[in-house]
Amino acid sequence: MPESPPLLTIVLEETGLLDRESAMYRRLIAARLRLESHFAVRHMEEPLTTARIAGLCAEIQSKYVIFMRTSHLISANYVATLFEYLRTRTVYLAEPVMYTGAIAKNVAGTPIDDTYQYSRDTDVFGIAFNTKRLGDALEALKDVDRSAIYISYRLYWSIAKVRPLTTGFSVASDTKAATGLPIPSEVQRLVPLIPFHSKEIRLQLLRYVALFLRGIRGQKATSISLSHLRDVIRDFQLIELVGMVEQLQPFEAAWIRWLDDSLVSRQLYKQLSHKDAYLVFNGKHEERTGTSLHLYELLFQDDILTIEKQYLERRLRPGNARPGSYNFYNRPIGPYSTILFFDRPQQADDNAEHLYEYFTIEHPEFGNAYFAISPKSPDWPRLEAKGFKLVPIFTKEFYEMFLVSDLVVSSQIYSIRYRGKSFANSRFVYLQHGIQLNDMSDWVLSKYFDVFVATGRMEADYMGRLAPVETLNSGLPRYESLTRANEGQRHLLFMPTWRFNLHQSSTERFAQSGYFRAIDSFLSDSALLSFLADTDRVLHVKLHPNVEKRAGQFRFSERIVHSGLSYREAIRSAELVITDYSSAALDAAFIGIPIAYYHWDAADFFRDQPYESRLDYLDDGLGPVFSDQAGIVDHIIHERFAAEDVTYTRRRERFFEGVEPQRINEKIVERMLGL
């Protein structure tokens, strides 16, 4: 008697060897103890495309199929829950509660509301499809991208509502929200235009459109036409839901409004004190305005779309004089004003803390200046002892204070909205955490701010092409009090950044990565260790926060230590700072500490990152660049860093041009009080 096919096939998309030590894979294998005869695991080394999935549906004998990667996360009961649901039913699909980050401990408590439907990932991963029905649908949907299969499948079979099972699945990444969806150039439609008015589907489709638009800003060209985009937006009445887009993709929200009504080419983007910022969308037959700032020129099939930025007087704002429309800019900033400062929720000691301390000392007449931070942060008692007026961040008290504030000042950008107020219609000074060395134009243009604090001519010129009215070349507030330590034992400092493609790697996969091998080999270099011992030096290693949990895998020693110092103390007391690409090393360069770059993976680094570098390290870097371990070790053990190199001195002066170290905070305060 022939063996019956399994109920379920799990297809693992993984180039190369499977990461068999990943949490997801181990849970799949553990499920085999009870269900081995009922499900199969199939490894696909090539990327899953729509055509490949259609082919798999013809090959696979199981009733249901699930696609996933070993970097994804699943609840412990994921396989068992799906099996128990599917074994007695014939359905089009079954799905878990979907996440992009960590899976909630109480999956059943996750609210399945509009916010969930809009923010959930809608790729094919994690969902149990009826194999035969998926194959049938793909005969008609073979021209859509894989990322649109889930939405298109529900449209095709008119699946209006899906109740998630009580188990969780996570793609363990939300980089799409930052970088958008890269749709292959041959794809000519996003989804089929099948009339359907399910709000679930419309919310998911709205996010898909927003992510496509975000992605095309980077891709520059697509075979999808503007007319098709307009049909999608109008046929599914997405404009009714566009408020969901504004919170995280405001640029795309303006774009969707223009696509819905192309007669209104100028879309209000950000209110400012004196002039407001608008996005202007121009088709190929429309004249460009000479006073606009050119942002993008994009090709949609045969149509060229230009997107520009324009600053217009506040009095020209639509609805500016409408009765009952509250203007958060009407009240000038004065001693009575509430001003809200904050860094990260769990960590201060960044630019907002330094500016707050300066501001409250130099301007004691402002009695309503507050600093927001989590009461659970280890910095809370320290700041309290310094006399900071603290407010618990992201609490009811915080939001009420935000509502009445005249100004918010922060080193972080969060999407804060409360009772009609947001950074789109109120004053916000963005201090930044560091200096932008990468081309983050698309990210910058997606954010609201009245002042963008730049450091040096290079960054200010770059920002001036994106936000000339808002850019201030003052320098970071923490730089004003940053000085080089003159006493005590000095050390060398190594500060590698992290790699996006290793975020969910297992311990074994991480240990096999080029990133780990390069760093661990450097830390255990015999010549380096001998030099440190002979000269009585210590090399401190500051791992990136995303790598800290893996610190135990590196070979630290008596002379090479996992540093417990703060970044500030580690940098200011260093003789030399070594990094790969971390902008934190610029703090050292600012106070004259020599830096060196160790680029062991220069050929691959930016290929795997969401952004490209603006800095040519060989021609403009603030220290020498080494591509191999022998070179960086030789530079250290021969103490070449100890002799001043006029080349890097000149580059440093040019890089930080325009920053007056003793007037950084003064300049920022002068600008912010004038908003």
d(CA 569, CA 490): 11
The β-bridge relationship of strands 128-130 and 93-94 is: antiparallel
Cα Rg of the chain (Å, integer): 27
d(CA 465, CA 293): 8
Q: Is 87 helix (H, G, I), strand (E, B) or coil?
A: coil
Q: In sequence order, what E strands does 435-538 have?
A: 438-439, 451-454, 471-473, 491-495
Residues forming beta bridges with residue 373, ordered by sequence position: 392
Average of per-residue pLDDT across 535-561: 89
Which of 133-142, 352-361, 465-474, 577-586 has the lowest average pLDDT? 577-586
d(CA 50, CA 56): 10
Range 227-256 burial, b when 16+ CB lie within 10 A, else e: ebbeebbeebebeebbebbbbbbbbbbbbb
Element (H, E) at 25: helix 23-35
Residue 547 is predicted with a pLDDT of 82
Q: Which residues contact 279 (CB under 8 A, 6 or more apart)?
A: 251, 254, 255, 258, 266, 267, 269, 295, 307, 308, 309, 310
d(CA 465, CA 454): 13
d(CA 615, CA 622): 10
Q: Provide the angle, in degrees to the nearest 10, between the axes of the packed helices 526-534 and 629-637.
A: 10
pLDDT one-digit tens code per residue, 460-512:
999 999 999 999 999 999 999 988 887 666 799 999 988 777 766 777 778 88
Q: Mind spelling out the 3-state secondary structure of 206-234?
A: HHHHHHHHHHHHHHCEECCCHHHHHHHHH
pLDDT one-digit tens code per residue, 91-125:
999 999 999 888 999 999 999 999 999 999 999 99
Residues forming beta bridges with residue 247, ordered by sequence position: none
Average of per-residue pLDDT across 168-181: 82
Among residues 497, 496, 516, the alpha carbon closest in space to that of 506 is found at 516
pLDDT one-digit tens code per residue, 363-384:
999 999 999 999 999 999 999 9
d(CA 620, CA 251): 32
d(CA 665, CA 16): 52
Among residues 509, 597, 584, 494, the alpha carbon closest in space to that of 553 is found at 509
d(CA 187, CA 180): 16
Residue 4 reports pLDDT greater than 70: yes
**161: how many CB neighbours lie within 10 A of its CB?**
9
- Using CA atoms, how far residue 553 sits from 79, 543, 644, in Å, is 31, 12, 36
Residues forming beta bridges with residue 259, ordered by sequence position: none
Residues forming beta bridges with residue 494, ordered by sequence position: 541, 578
Among residues 470, 487, 508, the alpha carbon closest in space to that of 668 is found at 470
d(CA 93, CA 127): 7
At residue 286 the predicted structure's pLDDT band, cuts being 50, 70 and 90, is: low
Q: Is 314 helix (H, G, I), strand (E, B) or coil?
A: helix
Contact 8, 65 (CB under 8 A): yes
Residue 611 is predicted with a pLDDT of 72
Residue 174 is predicted with a pLDDT of 74
Question: Within its chain, how far is the Cα of 655 from the centroid?
Answer: 26
**359: how many CB neighbours lie within 10 A of its CB?**
21
- Using CA atoms, how far residue 227 sits from 18, 25, 143, 156, in Å, is 43, 44, 17, 21
Tell me the whole-structure pTM to 2 decimals: 0.90
Q: In sequence order, what E strands does 7-106 have?
A: 8-13, 39-44, 64-68, 73-74, 93-94, 97-99
pLDDT one-digit tens code per residue, 18-74:
777 777 788 887 777 777 778 888 888 889 999 999 999 999 999 999 999 888 889
DSSP state of 121: -
The β-bridge relationship of strands 221-222 and 97-99 is: unpaired
Residue 78 is predicted with a pLDDT of 92
Q: Is 550 exposed, middle or buried (0-12, 13-18, 19+ CB in 10 A)?
A: middle
Which comes out higher in pLDDT, residue 314 or 189?
189
Residue 176 reports pLDDT greater than 80: no
d(CA 293, CA 286): 16
Residue 638 is predicted with a pLDDT of 94
For residue 569, which amino acid is it? E
